[in-house]
């Protein structure tokens, strides 16, 4: 390990280790049995505490023992006949946890017990605890248990955030890859240098200093994730969040549909229409991107829909003359200011410089994709796709994640250029996942051919207006997950991988409006080629 040649242990050493393990195991089992007996007999006293201490020193990760110990301590503290002072009792407990942490420095039970002692045994010296944290973090600067405990002690001591901020800088300068230090820094900076305008997490001058700091770290070790996560926080907090925006409103027969650019709940938006009742999502979830309600009066030739959003209110008038339909231009990214754009372009340039030196480095590749998407996803589309392809090669464990991002960006580009003619095409994109499917809702003709959408068939539930659906060449083996679309009249399924025609027809059972099926596939007995099947109504 780490370049050290492994040496085989002698038989004598192996035998000695085996006997030691057996002795510890026997000690542990005997102790647990004795504790169980004493607990059953309700002997919650100092002798039981001693047995628990012995077992915890063998295995400090038994939560039950720590909890039993807390129970006994509370009894002792409430007992007037007990001469043990809370401070002395607490100091004994802290010594026990310290000996347990020598066995396992990341023992959840030991750290939680230590914290509990400080809360329940007042008078303990908290400065000693802070010094202990400093000592432990010198041994292992990435021990997040110790970082959490340190923040707890600091809060009890009521130390100034400035002191802790200086400490985080010391730890970062010792090791740029100390993720906990970067994270702690992101919590402290807004407390000390908060932006008075409230538009940024920290004031501009300090923000620029932090960008210099994190860029130095990133250039020192481009493969380390810690600095890149912090950079994403610094820049990401400056970007405006994407608001929930009204995407379209339409009437279909006896239902009124309201679509948004992303998932929304009725806690965040309010939809009002005098002719509609009981709003719900098409997927029956508490939040969703497509909401609908039944219409009380379907003879109306005009519908007025009022939608109250966090950012604004919108009143839409649907008329029969316009086909009871209103749609806004799709919006997938928040609008950024020129100043923010300049910051992002500067950071993108830094990423590009680093990639010129090391072109196959994961974090600058991924971060540059995020920056390009925020600046102008349409203008940078080709560059984004090339870098996602590079990421799939240099980070094979996350190929599915990068494929999903590519699917999402391809769909967004196609939707932004969709014609307003009642059709929607996401064909020939080699998609595996279906994002923004709520934008399929108004379309009558939907072409999803030449993709691989087998696992995403449930998302087609949003296609509430669809009459003609093309699923050719999608590597489909079954249609069991295809939602029942009430208006669907025809579906094309050429060049898929169905096992048999009977199974296919069984999957389509229940599509009461379906009248035509176009199908071509090798079956066990026959080859059916572009035949139109008429279903009995």
Tokens of 156: 């009890």
Give the residue from 316, 259, 266 showing the smallest Cα distance to 437.
259
Three-state SS at 318:
strand
Q: Which residues contact 324 (CB under 8 A, 6 or more apart)?
A: 250, 251, 252, 303, 318
| Domain extent for 500 | 418-534
Quote the DSSP letter at residue 520. E
Residue 353 lies in a domain: no
Residue 7 lies in a domain: no
Q: Are residues 294 and 436 in the same domain?
A: no
Helices (H), 289-361: 338-357
Q: Are residues 293 and 164 in the same domain?
A: no
Residue 465 lies in a domain: yes
Residue 510 lies in a domain: yes
Burial of 289 (0-12, 13-18, 19+ CB in 10 A): buried
Tell me: pLDDT of 71 over 60: yes
Residue after which a domain boundary falls, among 265, 300, 327: 327
Residue 295 lies in a domain: yes
Total domains in the chain come to 3
Rounded to the nearest angstrom, the gap between the alpha carbon of residue 136 and the centroid of all alpha carbons in its chain is 31
The percentage of the chain sitting over the pLDDT mark of 70, rounded to a whole number, equals 93
CB count in 10 Å sphere of residue 59: 19
Q: Which residues contact 527 (CB under 8 A, 6 or more apart)?
A: 520
Q: Worst-scoring range by mean pLDDT, 8-12, 186-190, 453-457?
A: 8-12
What CATH number is given to the structural domain containing 124?
1.25.40.120
Q: Are residues 36 and 181 in the same domain?
A: yes
Please report which confidence band the pLDDT of residue 458 belongs to, taking 50, 70 and 90 as the band edges: very high
Residue 204 lies in a domain: no
Residue after which a domain boundary falls, among 304, 327, 350: 327
Please report which confidence band the pLDDT of residue 2 belongs to, taking 50, 70 and 90 as the band edges: very low
pLDDT number for residue 534 = 37
- Strand 325-327, strand 423-425: pairing: unpaired
Please report which confidence band the pLDDT of residue 529 belongs to, taking 50, 70 and 90 as the band edges: very low
What CATH number is given to the structural domain containing 252?
2.60.40
Name the strands in the sheet holding 246-252, side by side, starting at the edge strand that comes first in the sequence. 276-281, 287-295, 255-265, 246-252, 325-327
Quote the DSSP letter at residue 5. P
Q: Are residues 68 and 169 in the same domain?
A: yes
Q: What is the mean predicted confidence (pLDDT) over 378-386? A: 93
Tokens of 331: 């919006």
Q: What is the mean predicted confidence (pLDDT) over 290-310? A: 87
Q: Are residues 17 and 153 in the same domain?
A: yes
Q: Are residues 252 and 183 in the same domain?
A: no
pLDDT number for residue 257 = 94
**CB neighbour burial string for 294-317, b if at least 16 within 10 angstroms, e if fewer:** ebeeeebeebebebebeeeeeebe
Question: Would you put residue 428 in left (φ > 0), alpha (ψ -120 to 50) or beta?
Answer: left
Q: Are residues 179 and 267 in the same domain?
A: no
Q: Are residues 120 and 268 in the same domain?
A: no
pLDDT number for residue 329 = 87
Q: What is the mean predicted confidence (pLDDT) over 333-358? A: 88
Q: Are residues 23 and 169 in the same domain?
A: yes
Tokens of 484: 């029942």
Q: What is the mean predicted confidence (pLDDT) over 282-293? A: 91
- Within 178-308, strands assigned E span 246-252, 255-265, 270-272, 276-281, 287-295, 302-308
Tell me: pLDDT of 527 over 70: no
CB count in 10 Å sphere of residue 181: 25
Give the residue from 256, 424, 399 showing the smallest Cα distance to 326.
256
Tokens of 197: 């305008």
Residue 122 lies in a domain: yes
Residue 350 lies in a domain: no
Quote the DSSP letter at residue 249. E
Residue after which a domain boundary falls, among 293, 327, 361: 327
Q: Are residues 23 and 97 in the same domain?
A: yes
Three-state SS at 92:
helix
Please report which confidence band the pLDDT of residue 45 belongs to, taking 50, 70 and 90 as the band edges: confident
pLDDT number for residue 528 = 36
Q: Worst-scoring range by mean pLDDT, 343-352, 381-390, 398-407, 412-421?
A: 412-421
SS (H, E, C) 492-509: EEECCCCCCHHHHHHHCC
Report angle CA 51, 56, 60 to the nearest 5 degrees: 165
Q: Are residues 424 and 320 in the same domain?
A: no
Q: Are residues 149 and 25 in the same domain?
A: yes
Q: Worst-scoring range by mean pLDDT, 9-13, 101-105, 205-209, 259-263?
A: 9-13
What CATH number is given to the structural domain containing 482?
3.80.10.10
Residue pLDDT, tens place only, 129-155: 999 999 999 988 889 999 999 999 999
Tokens of 389: 């392809």
Give the residue from 467, 446, 442 showing the smallest Cα distance to 258.
442
Q: What is the mean predicted confidence (pLDDT) over 325-347? A: 87
State the average pLDDT for the chain.
86
CB count in 10 Å sphere of residue 161: 15
């Amino acid at each position: 390990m780490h370049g050290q040649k492994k040496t085989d242990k002698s038989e004598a050493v192996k035998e000695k280790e085996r006997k030691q393990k057996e002795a510890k195991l026997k000690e542990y089992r005997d102790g647990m049995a004795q504790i169980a007996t004493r607990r059953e007999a309700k002997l919650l006293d100092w002798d039981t505490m001693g047995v628990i201490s012995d077992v915890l020193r063998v295995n400090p990760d038994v939560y039950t023992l720590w909890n039993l110990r807390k129970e006994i301590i509370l009894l002792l503290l409430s007992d007037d006949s007990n001469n043990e002072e809370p401070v002395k009792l607490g100091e004994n407990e802290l010594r026990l946890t310290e000996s347990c942490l020598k066995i396992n420095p990341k023992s959840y039970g030991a750290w939680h017990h230590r914290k509990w002692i400080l809360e329940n045994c007042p008078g303990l010296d908290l400065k000693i605890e802070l010094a202990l944290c400093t000592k432990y973090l010198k041994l292992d600067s990435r021990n997040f248990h110790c970082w959490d405990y340190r923040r707890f002690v600091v809060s009890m001591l009521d130390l100034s955030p400035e002191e802790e901020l200086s400490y985080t800088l010391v730890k970062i300068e010792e090791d740029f890859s100390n993720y906990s230090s970067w994270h702690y820094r992101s919590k402290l900076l807004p407390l000390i240098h908060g932006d008075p305008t409230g538009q940024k997490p920290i004031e501009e001058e300090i923000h620029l200093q932090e960008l210099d700091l994190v860029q130095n770290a990133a250039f020192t070790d481009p493969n380390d994730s810690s600095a890149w996560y912090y950079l994403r926080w610094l820049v990401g907090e400056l970007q405006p969040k994407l608001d929930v925006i009204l995407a379209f409103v339409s009437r279909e027969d006896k239902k009124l549909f309201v679509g948004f650019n992303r998932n929304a709940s009725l806690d965040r938006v309010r939809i009002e229409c005098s002719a509609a009742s009981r709003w719900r999502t098409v997927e029956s979830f508490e939040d969703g991107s497509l909401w609908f309600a039944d219409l009380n009066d379907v003879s109306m030739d005009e519908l007025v829909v009022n939608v109250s959003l966090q950012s604004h209110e919108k009143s839409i008038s649907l008329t029969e003359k316009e086909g009871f339909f209103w749609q806004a231009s799709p919006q997938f990214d928040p609008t950024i200011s020129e100043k923010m754009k300049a910051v992002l372009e500067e950071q993108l340039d830094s990423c590009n410089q680093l990639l010129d030196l090391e072109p196959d480095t994961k974090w600058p590749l991924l971060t540059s994709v995020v920056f390009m998407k925020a600046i102008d996803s349409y203008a940078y589309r080709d560059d984004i796709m090339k870098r996602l392809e590079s990421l799939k090669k240099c980070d094979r464990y996350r190929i599915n994640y990068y494929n999903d991002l590519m699917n999402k960006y391809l769909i967004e580009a196609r939707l932004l250029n969709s014609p307003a003619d009642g059709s929607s095409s996401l064909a020939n994109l080699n998609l595996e996942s279906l994002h923004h499917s709520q934008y399929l809702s108004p379309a009558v003709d939907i072409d999803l051919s030449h993709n691989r959408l087998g696992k995403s068939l449930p998302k087609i539930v949003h296609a509430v207006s669809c009459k003609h659906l093309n699923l050719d060449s999608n590597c489909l083996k079954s249609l069991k997950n295809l939602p029942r679309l009430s208006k669907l009249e025809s579906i094309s399924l050429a060049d898929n991988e169905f096992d048999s025609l009977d199974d296919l027809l069984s999957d389509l059972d229940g599509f009461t409006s379906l009248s035509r099926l176009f199908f071509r596939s090798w079956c066990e007995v026959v080859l059916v080629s572009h035949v139109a099947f008429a279903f009995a109504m």
